[in-house]
Amino acid sequence: MNTLIAASVLSADFSRLADEINRLKSADIIHLDLMDGHFVPNLSFGYPLVSCIRGLTDQPLDAHLMVTNPQNYIDGLSRLGVSWFSFHQETVYHSHRLIQQIKDHGMKAGIALNPATPVNTLDSILEDLDYVLAMSVNPGYSAQSFIPSAIAKIKELDRIRKSRNMDFLIEVDGGVNAQTSPALREAKADILVSASYIFGSKDYDKSITTLKGQ
Ligand code: DX5
Ligand code: ZN
């Protein structure tokens, strides 16, 4: 499978949002970082902006919930046309129930792992997941430095999915750029999320092509 690129709008210039989204034509997915100032020490945006972005593009929307109550947003985000929904393993007691609810709403279901959360916390739920989101920075901000231990985590996830014959996708998020992406593709990450590298460049399409390794 070709590597998919999810452009995170966290680093976009919101005063020119239509133009920014328009320049992401080669991105496979638009990544939406939703933060509550509680699970992470930052606020980002909510339904009004998601709705606005939905009106600007037909590209699939991938919501990354960095909030302590992700269950409260399943219905609202599915109504807004979000098709990928991930929540953090560290935030919920009943991840199995949540995964079923996300799927019942017609969305792909994923679980995100902080850099310090081991893969084995997902052992009993992996076969129910459409994707795993491995964080390669501590969540909350764009433009942080890549944490190299993410590479071993991606390799471990790939090894498990092969040995257990599973088909969940592996998404990696944080510090993805021209320097870090080759090792991530080699480790078999399927989806690379990027904010500051894409939006900090002159030619977004060219940066996306670089991340894909083309
Ligand atoms: C961090 C977010 C990321 C962030 C990535 O909490 O989940 O999606 O936007 O930003 P970069 O690509 O700049 O590290
Ligand atoms: Zn994210």
Instruction: Indicate the top mutation candidate among 146, 193, 201 to test ligand 1's pocket, ranked by most ligand atoms within 8 A of CB.
Output: 193
- The model carries a pTM of 0.98
Residue 205 burial class via C-beta count within 10 angstroms: exposed 0-12, middle 13-18, buried 19 and up? middle
Choice from 67, 141, 208 to test ligand 1 binding pocket (greatest atom count within 8 A of CB):
141
- The CATH number corresponding to 4-212 among 3.20.20.70, 3.40.50.300, 3.50.50.60, 3.20.20.150 equals 3.20.20.70
Q: Which residues line ligand 1 (CB under 6 A)?
A: 8, 10-11, 31, 33, 64, 137, 139-144, 173-176, 193-197
On the 0-12 / 13-18 / 19+ scale of CB atoms within 10 A, 171 is buried
Distance from C-alpha of 93 to C-alpha of 153, rounded to nearest angstrom: 23
Say which residues have a Cβ less than 8 Å from residue 178's Cβ, sequence separation at least 6.
Answer: 197, 207, 210, 211
Which ligand places an atom closest to the C-alpha of 144?
1
How would you write the pLDDT of the chain (214 residues) with one tens digit per residue? 899 999 999 999 999 999 999 999 999 999 999 999 999 999 999 999 999 999 999 999 999 999 999 999 999 999 999 999 999 999 999 999 999 999 999 999 999 999 999 999 999 999 999 999 999 999 999 999 999 999 999 999 999 999 999 999 999 999 999 999 999 999 999 999 999 999 999 999 999 999 999 9
pLDDT at 167: 97
Ligand 2 centroid distance, CA of 42 (Å): 13
Looking at residue 27, its amino acid is A
Between the CA of 145 and the centroid of ligand 2 the distance, in Å, is 14
149 C-alpha to ligand 1 centroid (Å): 17
pLDDT in the model for residue 1: 81
CB 127 within 8 A of CB 117: no
Q: Which sequence positions are flagged as catalytic?
A: 33, 173
Task: Considering every ligand atom shown, identify the ligand nearest to the alpha carbon of residue 137 and give its number.
Answer: 1
Structural domain spans, the chain:
4-212
